[in-house]
Chain A
């Protein structure tokens, strides 16, 4: 139990609980099952994309192209749906994921084979992908009445009383946890992020690791692009604009080190949920939209600073314990 409380993620969990309590004092409806269900559904997209982002950050990189990838696969699948309504809508999910994986691979290639720093490579593909979204439908929107009912129902279709959006998220979380903890590739990602030189000396392939994380990041963003567009019933060139920074913030909130090498799937999950809870709380408590963004920023800043301070204190304690 004591060890549990020393984990980095715990500060965020405690902040999350404190936030929920405070908000429910002002707005009792906040903790009602219906609202919690709504928070979860709203946060699913963030959780999934943040998990991909997490893997890229683990190797000391960053993938700023995820939001553009979402817009890309969202638009692509919406157009497929519009012009080929006969294709079963559920097939568009794997299609979106596959397109996303290819886009992720392209960014990954710029890093692994072109030698570009991840931030530069992904800023480049971020613009390229969003530009292509614009070109795809000549800047026009795809609106709900141009989509089939099946397509629009993808995220909300219930199974055992829970929406498929949540089922998909649970599956992705499980897969990510298994990948990171139980596969040799996951171990290599941690090793590479922890100390690139030592990993190379140990025979870890730099290109493989870089390709793997960017491909996964693209795949997850591609999958979410489909869910996003079908959930909001709209595909346009501004879909999910700015979302990439939220995924980075969720990772950092969850204790993922921007320097690479440290962080967990659980942490990212908690970080994303915290983010989702703030967004919802600010609406429920009825803050003016003018204040929302600033308050959001302050809350995140507070969580990250306290997280860093606790981490530093733990580290000092460990160093002091070391025999010299």
Chain B
């Protein structure tokens, strides 16, 4: 047996292998959704553990159960040798579990020192705050994470990478034995990622455990010791990173029993109707081009943050872009906002139904007619009859269930709200329909209905651009697929020519000429 390297703390290192966290039979049900079903998950001290799964596989839910944000419907958790039942994130933090979120848990207008000690401020004499003690400790912590910023600088002024290091410093200040990092590298450059990994390794060598969530396989293989894969809220398998490869993990992630759910449709590729040429916007996406043909469903796949929605928002004029042009039926068009887009026959159904799609305080009818309220009007005055006609036609088409068209949108169920949003955009009779995550967060039955409906629209000649983070949906619905990774298009392909692993490779930067880091 070789002697341990001198720079490791021998005692800490020997602790590797002891189970620090054991979650057994964890289930979490929401009304109509089984987010987690009988999931087992365990971690050892002194390891970096990758939690892997597609979007919606249950990773975030599991983390939220672990950190006390959600309470599990069933199952037990043992942490550091004790049975625990965290009722709030405060309990979890007190027990030594720290989460480093992407953005959420930072206070941008407080200083670095204040952020590090937020939630567990040091008290001195007479219960006044011990600022001197906190500043000293903060300085020491920043040294440990090798962050060269002043403890008095505002977090707002820091880069994303620096904020992560502040988050780690905070975790250290609480002496967390388990640190959870949810996609920490999504906004980091390669160099910043390497620096972060150095710190992560140092933490691991101190005997702390790191739960690492990322969609980037090259990173997972570079940093993680072991992995656990989830799919559709269920445990699929776990093992050592050394004993597996990208293909095996992708097989575990995707499974193979979903294709028949999607409606079959005869793809008849028409002529090109819309083309996006050379879209670039600094910090968001670069040199994005693709085209949409008449009557086809073009799927747009990519991980969260790949820039798909940003490209679409620029396309319909909601956000600016630095360069690039749009051609509609061969002629260049300028789209300065949704109203221009609608006039050109382009309807954009946004991702967030409540936030971007509905006016909750308004009636179903007023919501459906909103995009065309001005064009239906006679002069300045509303045209009630024409509005009723539109509402009746499209409300019936979408089979919206409600007491009446005058009912407020806020009183509808999620599925019916989604139908109102779709009815609203279909009522503008677009030739191009852009759908951003059309089935996100709706139940399986409604999902199938929405899929059938989208299919039918396409076979009637409507061109559909569908953004989705669900790979089965993309593969099941699309005629062609555009894949984006970190703001660039990494693949454009015919669905018949590809399989899930090829798409996942392109979406995680390991396919299409992007090599896997060793």
- The main secondary structure of chain A at its interface with chain B is helix
Minimum Cβ distance to chain B for residue A186 (Å) = 8
Q: Is the CB of B359 within 8 A of A198?
A: yes
Give complex CA distance A188, B361 in Å: 13
Contact stretch, chosen from B141-149, B303-311, B369-377: B369-377
Residues of A within 8 A of B359 (CB): 190-191, 194-195, 198-199, 261
Query: Counting CB contacts under 8 A, is B4 at the interface?
Result: no
- A187 with B370: in contact, given A198-B358, A200-B338, A201-B356 (CB under 8 Å)? yes
Q: Is the CB of A322 within 8 A of B370?
A: no
- List the A residue with the shortest CB-CB distance to B355: A197
Query: Counting CB contacts under 8 A, is B448 at the interface?
Result: no
Give complex CA distance A183, B374 in Å: 9
Residues of A within 8 A of B122 (CB): none
Q: Is the CB of B374 within 8 A of A184?
A: yes
- A187 with B382: in contact, given A202-B371, A322-B411, A324-B32 (CB under 8 Å)? yes
**Chain B contacts with A in 328-379, Cβ cutoff 8 A:** 337-339, 341-342, 348, 350, 355-362, 366, 370-371, 373-374, 376-377
Residues of B within 8 A of A205 (CB): 337, 339
- A204 with B370: in contact, given A183-B380, A187-B382, A199-B359 (CB under 8 Å)? yes
Q: Is the CB of A202 within 8 A of B338?
A: yes
Query: Counting CB contacts under 8 A, is B150 at the interface?
Result: no
- List the B residue with the shortest CB-CB distance to A318: B411
Query: Counting CB contacts under 8 A, is B429 at the interface?
Result: no
Q: How large is the interface on B (under 10, 10 to 19, 20 to 34, 35 or more residues)?
A: 20 to 34
Residues of B within 8 A of A187 (CB): 366, 370, 373, 382
Minimum Cβ distance to chain A for residue B374 (Å) = 5
| Residue among B355, B370, B377, B381 with max Cβ neighbours from chain A (10 Å) | B370
Q: Is the CB of B370 within 8 A of A191?
A: yes
Residues of B within 8 A of A200 (CB): 318, 337-338
Residues of A within 8 A of B412 (CB): 322
Query: Counting CB contacts under 8 A, is B215 at the interface?
Result: no
Residues of B within 8 A of A185 (CB): 380
| Residue among A184, A190, A262, A321 with max Cβ neighbours from chain B (10 Å) | A184
Q: Is the CB of A203 within 8 A of B342?
A: yes
Minimum Cβ distance to chain A for residue B373 (Å) = 5
Give complex CA distance A205, B342 in Å: 13
Report which B residues bind A (CB closer than 8 A). 31-32, 318, 337-339, 341-342, 348, 350, 355-362, 366, 370-371, 373-374, 376-377, 380-382, 410-413, 424
Report which A residues bind B (CB closer than 8 A). 182-185, 187-188, 190-191, 194-195, 197-205, 261-262, 318, 321-324
Extra 18 A-B pairs, beta carbons < 8 Å, given A194-B361, A322-B411, A322-B412: A184-B373, A184-B376, A184-B377, A184-B382, A187-B370, A190-B359, A191-B370, A195-B360, A198-B350, A198-B356, A198-B357, A198-B359, A201-B338, A201-B348, A201-B356, A201-B357, A261-B361, A318-B410
